[in-house]
Protein backbone atom coordinates (compact mmCIF):
# COMPACT_ATOMS: atom_id res chain seq x y z
CA UNK A 1 0.00 0.00 0.00
CA UNK A 2 1.39 3.35 -0.96
CA UNK A 3 1.55 5.80 1.90
CA UNK A 4 2.15 9.49 2.07
CA UNK A 5 3.23 11.74 4.90
CA UNK A 6 1.47 15.09 4.76
CA UNK A 7 2.49 18.11 6.80
CA UNK A 8 -0.23 19.63 8.98
CA UNK A 9 1.36 22.06 11.42
CA UNK A 10 4.35 22.90 13.61
CA UNK A 11 4.45 24.50 17.05
CA UNK A 12 7.36 25.38 19.30
CA UNK A 13 7.87 27.07 22.64
CA UNK A 14 10.41 27.92 25.30
CA UNK A 15 10.24 28.33 29.06
CA UNK A 16 6.64 27.16 29.26
CA UNK A 17 4.69 24.78 31.47
CA UNK A 18 2.99 23.03 28.56
CA UNK A 19 2.45 23.22 24.82
CA UNK A 20 -0.81 22.59 23.00
CA UNK A 21 -1.39 21.84 19.34
CA UNK A 22 -5.10 22.36 18.74
CA UNK A 23 -7.27 21.27 15.83
CA UNK A 24 -4.51 19.16 14.27
CA UNK A 25 -6.57 15.95 14.31
CA UNK A 26 -9.50 15.93 11.89
CA UNK A 27 -11.53 13.53 9.83
CA UNK A 28 -8.97 13.88 7.03
CA UNK A 29 -6.62 11.22 8.43
CA UNK A 30 -6.92 8.07 10.53
CA UNK A 31 -3.25 7.99 11.55
CA UNK A 32 -0.98 10.85 12.59
CA UNK A 33 2.75 11.11 13.09
CA UNK A 34 3.84 13.66 15.69
CA UNK A 35 7.55 14.45 15.88
CA UNK A 36 9.25 16.30 18.70
CA UNK A 37 12.69 17.17 17.39
CA UNK A 38 13.61 19.20 20.47
CA UNK A 39 12.98 18.45 24.15
CA UNK A 40 14.98 20.51 26.63
CA UNK A 41 14.66 20.59 30.43
CA UNK A 42 16.98 21.47 33.26
CA UNK A 43 16.12 18.00 34.58
CA UNK A 44 12.73 16.53 33.84
CA UNK A 45 10.53 14.25 31.75
CA UNK A 46 8.04 15.06 29.01
CA UNK A 47 4.51 13.67 28.96
CA UNK A 48 1.50 14.21 26.72
CA UNK A 49 -2.26 14.34 26.82
CA UNK A 50 -5.02 14.71 24.25
CA UNK A 51 -7.36 17.63 23.68
CA UNK A 52 -11.11 17.42 23.14
CA UNK A 53 -13.73 20.08 22.49
CA UNK A 54 -13.49 21.30 26.08
CA UNK A 55 -9.71 21.46 26.34
CA UNK A 56 -6.94 19.24 27.65
CA UNK A 57 -8.15 15.86 28.90
CA UNK A 58 -6.51 15.50 32.31
CA UNK A 59 -8.80 12.88 33.83
CA UNK A 60 -7.39 9.60 35.15
CA UNK A 61 -8.10 7.65 31.99
CA UNK A 62 -4.66 7.11 30.50
CA UNK A 63 -2.95 3.70 30.48
CA UNK A 64 0.55 3.20 29.16
CA UNK A 65 3.52 0.85 29.10
CA UNK A 66 7.01 2.19 28.48
CA UNK A 67 10.17 0.19 27.96
CA UNK A 68 13.06 2.35 29.15
CA UNK A 69 16.37 1.26 27.63
CA UNK A 70 19.52 2.71 29.15
CA UNK A 71 23.02 2.64 27.66
CA UNK A 72 24.27 3.11 31.22
CA UNK A 73 22.30 0.55 33.23
CA UNK A 74 19.42 -1.82 33.62
CA UNK A 75 16.35 -1.56 31.45
CA UNK A 76 13.02 -0.78 33.07
CA UNK A 77 9.34 -1.48 32.49
CA UNK A 78 7.36 1.60 33.43
CA UNK A 79 3.63 1.01 33.44
CA UNK A 80 0.65 3.11 34.48
CA UNK A 81 -3.06 2.38 34.73
CA UNK A 82 -5.51 5.23 35.16
CA UNK A 83 -2.87 7.91 34.90
CA UNK A 84 -3.46 11.55 33.99
CA UNK A 85 -1.03 11.61 31.06
CA UNK A 86 1.06 9.37 28.81
CA UNK A 87 4.80 8.95 29.02
CA UNK A 88 7.51 9.61 29.70
CA UNK A 89 8.24 10.35 26.06
CA UNK A 90 11.61 11.92 26.76
CA UNK A 91 13.99 13.13 29.44
CA UNK A 92 16.66 15.81 29.44
CA UNK A 93 19.00 17.35 31.97
CA UNK A 94 20.56 20.12 29.94
CA UNK A 95 22.62 17.90 27.70
CA UNK A 96 23.57 18.73 24.16
CA UNK A 97 20.57 17.81 22.10
CA UNK A 98 17.95 17.09 24.72
CA UNK A 99 15.70 14.45 23.24
CA UNK A 100 13.54 13.67 20.25
CA UNK A 101 10.46 11.51 19.86
CA UNK A 102 8.26 10.07 17.13
CA UNK A 103 4.65 9.40 18.15
CA UNK A 104 1.99 7.64 16.09
CA UNK A 105 -1.61 8.43 17.04
CA UNK A 106 -4.36 6.16 15.76
CA UNK A 107 -7.84 7.42 14.92
CA UNK A 108 -7.97 10.25 17.48
CA UNK A 109 -10.83 12.05 15.77
CA UNK A 110 -13.28 9.17 15.88
CA UNK A 111 -15.42 8.56 18.94
CA UNK A 112 -13.35 5.63 20.15
CA UNK A 113 -10.47 5.10 22.52
CA UNK A 114 -7.36 6.85 21.17
CA UNK A 115 -4.30 4.60 20.91
CA UNK A 116 -0.71 5.63 20.31
CA UNK A 117 2.86 4.36 20.15
CA UNK A 118 6.14 6.24 20.51
CA UNK A 119 9.90 5.92 20.29
CA UNK A 120 12.43 8.32 21.77
CA UNK A 121 16.17 8.83 21.99
CA UNK A 122 18.01 11.40 24.02
CA UNK A 123 20.94 12.18 26.18
CA UNK A 124 21.19 12.46 29.94
CA UNK A 125 24.15 13.16 32.13
CA UNK A 126 24.46 9.42 32.70
CA UNK A 127 24.26 8.31 29.08
CA UNK A 128 21.71 7.60 26.40
CA UNK A 129 18.14 6.72 27.40
CA UNK A 130 15.78 5.31 24.78
CA UNK A 131 12.05 4.80 25.25
CA UNK A 132 9.48 2.66 23.46
CA UNK A 133 5.94 3.17 24.61
CA UNK A 134 2.34 2.35 23.93
CA UNK A 135 -0.66 4.13 25.37
CA UNK A 136 -4.36 4.69 25.25
CA UNK A 137 -6.85 7.33 26.36
CA UNK A 138 -9.83 5.32 27.55
CA UNK A 139 -12.50 7.86 26.71
CA UNK A 140 -14.77 7.26 23.76
CA UNK A 141 -14.83 10.74 22.29
CA UNK A 142 -13.25 12.72 19.49
CA UNK A 143 -9.83 14.22 20.21
CA UNK A 144 -8.73 17.17 18.14
CA UNK A 145 -5.31 18.00 19.50
CA UNK A 146 -2.35 17.07 21.63
CA UNK A 147 -0.79 18.70 24.68
CA UNK A 148 2.77 18.28 25.92
CA UNK A 149 3.48 18.84 29.58
CA UNK A 150 6.73 18.62 31.51
CA UNK A 151 7.50 17.53 35.01
CA UNK A 152 9.13 20.96 35.28
CA UNK A 153 9.38 24.06 33.10
CA UNK A 154 9.93 23.13 29.46
CA UNK A 155 12.99 25.06 28.36
CA UNK A 156 12.53 24.22 24.68
CA UNK A 157 10.14 22.09 22.68
CA UNK A 158 9.38 21.86 18.99
CA UNK A 159 6.68 19.60 17.54
CA UNK A 160 5.43 18.84 14.03
CA UNK A 161 2.25 16.98 13.10
CA UNK A 162 1.86 14.95 9.91
CA UNK A 163 -1.09 13.05 8.56
CA UNK A 164 -0.40 9.56 7.26
CA UNK A 165 -2.29 8.45 4.16
CA UNK B 1 -3.63 21.58 -0.12
CA UNK B 2 -1.52 19.07 1.77
CA UNK B 3 1.42 17.65 -0.17
CA UNK B 4 3.73 14.71 0.50
CA UNK B 5 6.25 15.42 3.25
CA UNK B 6 8.50 12.37 2.99
CA UNK B 7 11.16 13.67 0.62
CA UNK B 8 13.60 11.22 -0.91
CA UNK B 9 17.12 12.62 -0.80
CA UNK B 10 19.27 9.84 -2.15
CA UNK B 11 20.18 6.18 -2.39
CA UNK B 12 23.48 4.37 -1.84
CA UNK B 13 23.83 0.90 -3.32
CA UNK B 14 26.61 -1.57 -2.59
CA UNK B 15 28.62 -2.13 -5.74
CA UNK B 16 32.07 -3.68 -6.15
CA UNK B 17 32.28 -5.20 -2.66
CA UNK B 18 32.82 -1.99 -0.68
CA UNK B 19 34.03 -2.11 2.92
CA UNK B 20 31.62 0.66 3.89
CA UNK B 21 28.23 1.74 2.59
CA UNK B 22 27.75 5.43 3.19
CA UNK B 23 25.05 7.96 2.49
CA UNK B 24 25.32 11.70 3.08
CA UNK B 25 23.07 14.63 2.26
CA UNK B 26 21.81 15.59 5.70
CA UNK B 27 21.80 19.35 6.17
CA UNK B 28 19.64 22.05 7.71
CA UNK B 29 16.94 21.67 5.04
CA UNK B 30 15.03 19.32 7.37
CA UNK B 31 14.97 18.86 11.12
CA UNK B 32 14.36 15.11 11.05
CA UNK B 33 15.55 12.46 8.61
CA UNK B 34 14.49 8.86 8.02
CA UNK B 35 16.81 6.17 6.71
CA UNK B 36 15.60 2.86 5.29
CA UNK B 37 18.14 0.02 5.18
CA UNK B 38 17.64 -3.00 2.94
CA UNK B 39 19.44 -6.27 2.29
CA UNK B 40 22.85 -5.45 3.77
CA UNK B 41 24.63 -8.77 3.19
CA UNK B 42 28.25 -9.42 4.27
CA UNK B 43 30.76 -11.31 2.17
CA UNK B 44 31.20 -13.62 5.17
CA UNK B 45 29.20 -13.91 8.40
CA UNK B 46 29.88 -10.68 10.27
CA UNK B 47 28.47 -8.11 12.69
CA UNK B 48 26.85 -5.02 11.19
CA UNK B 49 27.73 -1.61 12.58
CA UNK B 50 27.32 2.04 11.73
CA UNK B 51 28.93 5.41 12.32
CA UNK B 52 28.01 9.01 11.59
CA UNK B 53 29.78 11.10 9.00
CA UNK B 54 30.83 14.72 9.39
CA UNK B 55 31.72 16.60 6.22
CA UNK B 56 31.53 13.23 4.50
CA UNK B 57 34.20 11.70 6.75
CA UNK B 58 33.36 8.60 8.78
CA UNK B 59 33.77 9.23 12.51
CA UNK B 60 35.44 6.36 14.37
CA UNK B 61 36.07 8.10 17.68
CA UNK B 62 35.01 6.56 21.00
CA UNK B 63 31.87 8.69 21.29
CA UNK B 64 29.03 6.28 20.53
CA UNK B 65 26.40 5.20 23.07
CA UNK B 66 23.78 2.70 22.05
CA UNK B 67 21.04 0.69 23.65
CA UNK B 68 18.54 -1.77 22.28
CA UNK B 69 16.34 -4.72 23.09
CA UNK B 70 16.92 -7.61 20.73
CA UNK B 71 14.30 -10.28 20.15
CA UNK B 72 15.66 -13.59 18.85
CA UNK B 73 13.01 -16.02 17.66
CA UNK B 74 14.63 -19.03 19.37
CA UNK B 75 16.18 -17.58 22.53
CA UNK B 76 15.46 -15.19 25.35
CA UNK B 77 15.16 -11.49 24.64
CA UNK B 78 18.34 -9.49 25.24
CA UNK B 79 18.92 -6.07 26.81
CA UNK B 80 22.05 -4.80 25.09
CA UNK B 81 23.89 -1.56 25.73
CA UNK B 82 27.29 0.02 25.17
CA UNK B 83 28.93 3.36 25.97
CA UNK B 84 31.93 5.19 24.54
CA UNK B 85 32.26 2.73 21.68
CA UNK B 86 33.89 3.40 18.32
CA UNK B 87 30.65 2.64 16.48
CA UNK B 88 27.19 1.23 16.98
CA UNK B 89 27.12 -2.53 16.53
CA UNK B 90 24.15 -4.79 16.05
CA UNK B 91 23.44 -8.28 14.71
CA UNK B 92 25.83 -10.85 13.27
CA UNK B 93 24.38 -11.16 9.79
CA UNK B 94 24.43 -14.40 7.85
CA UNK B 95 26.26 -14.10 4.53
CA UNK B 96 23.98 -16.58 2.80
CA UNK B 97 20.74 -14.92 3.91
CA UNK B 98 18.76 -11.91 2.86
CA UNK B 99 20.71 -9.42 4.93
CA UNK B 100 20.01 -6.71 7.48
CA UNK B 101 16.94 -4.48 7.34
CA UNK B 102 16.19 -1.41 9.45
CA UNK B 103 14.39 1.90 9.67
CA UNK B 104 16.08 4.83 11.41
CA UNK B 105 14.90 8.23 12.53
CA UNK B 106 17.82 10.66 12.77
CA UNK B 107 17.60 13.71 15.00
CA UNK B 108 19.77 16.79 15.48
CA UNK B 109 22.24 15.68 12.80
CA UNK B 110 22.52 19.10 11.13
CA UNK B 111 22.71 20.95 14.44
CA UNK B 112 26.30 22.09 15.03
CA UNK B 113 25.85 22.71 18.74
CA UNK B 114 24.17 19.47 19.77
CA UNK B 115 24.79 15.73 19.77
CA UNK B 116 23.53 13.56 16.90
CA UNK B 117 21.20 10.74 17.82
CA UNK B 118 18.60 8.40 16.43
CA UNK B 119 16.18 5.57 16.96
CA UNK B 120 16.04 2.36 14.98
CA UNK B 121 14.07 -0.83 14.42
CA UNK B 122 15.93 -3.73 12.86
CA UNK B 123 15.43 -7.28 11.65
CA UNK B 124 17.71 -9.87 10.06
CA UNK B 125 18.60 -13.55 9.95
CA UNK B 126 21.59 -14.14 12.17
CA UNK B 127 24.23 -16.84 12.17
CA UNK B 128 22.84 -18.70 15.21
CA UNK B 129 20.74 -19.30 12.99
CA UNK B 130 17.46 -17.62 13.81
CA UNK B 131 15.34 -14.56 13.17
CA UNK B 132 16.72 -11.63 15.15
CA UNK B 133 15.15 -8.19 15.45
CA UNK B 134 14.52 -5.42 17.88
CA UNK B 135 14.55 -1.72 18.56
CA UNK B 136 16.81 0.82 20.20
CA UNK B 137 18.62 4.10 19.91
CA UNK B 138 22.07 5.61 19.72
CA UNK B 139 23.92 8.86 20.10
CA UNK B 140 27.23 10.30 18.94
CA UNK B 141 28.22 12.55 21.81
CA UNK B 142 30.07 15.21 19.88
CA UNK B 143 28.37 18.59 19.59
CA UNK B 144 28.89 19.21 15.89
CA UNK B 145 26.90 18.68 12.71
CA UNK B 146 26.70 15.24 11.12
CA UNK B 147 25.77 14.82 7.46
CA UNK B 148 25.22 11.09 7.05
CA UNK B 149 25.50 7.52 8.21
CA UNK B 150 27.99 4.86 7.15
CA UNK B 151 27.59 1.10 7.61
CA UNK B 152 30.40 -1.42 8.00
CA UNK B 153 31.07 -4.96 9.20
CA UNK B 154 33.15 -5.11 12.35
CA UNK B 155 35.14 -8.20 11.29
CA UNK B 156 36.19 -6.76 7.96
CA UNK B 157 33.64 -8.38 5.65
CA UNK B 158 32.64 -6.37 2.61
CA UNK B 159 29.15 -5.71 1.30
CA UNK B 160 27.94 -8.31 -1.17
CA UNK B 161 24.78 -6.28 -1.63
CA UNK B 162 22.65 -3.71 0.06
CA UNK B 163 20.88 -0.42 -0.32
CA UNK B 164 20.21 2.51 1.99
CA UNK B 165 17.74 5.28 1.20
CA UNK B 166 17.66 8.67 2.93
CA UNK B 167 14.50 10.76 3.32
CA UNK B 168 13.86 14.17 4.81
CA UNK B 169 10.65 15.02 6.66
CA UNK B 170 9.47 18.24 5.10
CA UNK B 171 7.21 20.80 6.74
Q: What is the CATH number of the domain that holds A12?
A: 2.60.120
Is the previous residue joined to A82 through a cis bond, with omega within 30 degrees of 0? no
A162 CB burial (10 A radius; 0-12, 13-18, 19+): buried
Cβ-based neighbours of B2, under 8 Å, separated by 6 or more: A6, A7, A8, A28, A163
Chain A residue with minimum CA distance to B63: A127
The DSSP annotation for chain A comes to: ----EEEEEEEEEEEEEEEEE-S---TT-SEEEEEEEEEE-SSEEEEEEEEETTEE--SS-EEEEEEEEETTS--EEEEEEEESSEEEEEEESS-TT-EEEEEEEES-SSSSPEEEEEEEEE--SSS-EEEEEEEEE---S---EEEEEEEEEEEEEEEEEEEE-
**Which residues face A118 on adjacent strands?**
A103, A133
Q: What is this structure's pTM?
A: 0.90
pLDDT tens digits, one per residue of B102-148? 999 999 999 999 999 999 999 999 999 999 999 999 999 999 999 99
Query: Which residues of B are less than 8 Å from A96 in CB distance?
Result: 113-115, 141, 143
Q: What are phi and psi of A122, to 5 degrees?
A: -160, -160
Q: Which of B69, B139, B143 sits opposite A69 (nearest CB)?
A: B69
pLDDT at B10 over 80: yes
Nearest CA in chain B to A8: B2
Please provide residue B100's backbone torsions phi and psi, each rounded to the nearest 5 degrees.
Answer: -105, 135
Could you give the maximum distance between any two Cα atoms of chain A, in Å? Answer: 43
Instruction: Look at residue B168 in the predicted model and tell me its pLDDT.
Output: 96
CB contact at 8 A, A106 and A133: no
> Are the Cβ atoms of B136 and A130 closer than 8 angstroms?
yes
- Residue-level pLDDT at A9: 97
Which range has the worst mean pLDDT, A1-5, A91-95, B5-9, B10-14? A1-5
A6 vs B136: CB contact, 8 Å cut-off? Answer: no
- pLDDT of res. A95: 79
The CA distances from residue B95 to A98, B12, B42, B129, B159, in Å, are 38, 20, 5, 11, 9
The yes-or-no verdict on residue A2 having pLDDT over 60 is no
Rounded to the nearest angstrom, the minimum Cα separation between A111 and chain B is: 24
Residues 135-164 of B with CB under 8 A from A: 135-139, 141, 143
User: Taking residues A104-118, what's their average pLDDT?
Assistant: 94
> Contact B107/A100, CB-based, under 8 Å?
yes
Determine the Cα–Cα distance for residues B111 and B147; give it in Å rounded to an integer: 10
ipTM more than 0.85? Answer: no
Q: What is the DSSP letter of B20?
A: E
CB < 8 Å to A98, chain B: 114
Q: What's the average model confidence in pLDDT over A98-118?
A: 93
CA A76/CA B168 separation, integer angstroms: 32
Dihedral Cα B168, A122, A128, B78, nearest 10 deg? -70
Tell me the average pLDDT across B8-37: 97
Is B171 within 8 Å of A100 when comparing Cβ atoms?
no
Q: What is the mean pLDDT of residues A98-113?
A: 93
| Chain A: closest CA distance from residue B68 (Å) | 7
CA end-to-end span of chain A: 10
- The pLDDT value recorded for residue A3 is 59
Domain residue spans in chain B?
A: 6-169
Q: Is B99 on the interface with A (CB under 8 A)?
A: no
The range of the structural domain enclosing residue A153 comes to 5-164
Sign of the CA dihedral A36, A76, B36, B13? positive
| Contact call for A71 and B169, based on CB within 8 A | no
Structural domain tally of chain A? Answer: 1
Q: What is the mean pLDDT of chain B?
A: 95
Amino acid sequence: MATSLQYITSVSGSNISDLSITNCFTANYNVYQVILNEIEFSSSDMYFRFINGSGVVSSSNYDDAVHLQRSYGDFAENKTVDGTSLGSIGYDDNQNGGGATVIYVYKPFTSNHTFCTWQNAGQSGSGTPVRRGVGVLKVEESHTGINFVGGDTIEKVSATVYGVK
Amino acid sequence: MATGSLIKIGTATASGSPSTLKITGIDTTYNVYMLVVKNLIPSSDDTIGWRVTKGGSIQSDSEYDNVRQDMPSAAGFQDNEEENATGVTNATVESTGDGFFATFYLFNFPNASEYSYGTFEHVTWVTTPQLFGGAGGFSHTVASASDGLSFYFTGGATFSSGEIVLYGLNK
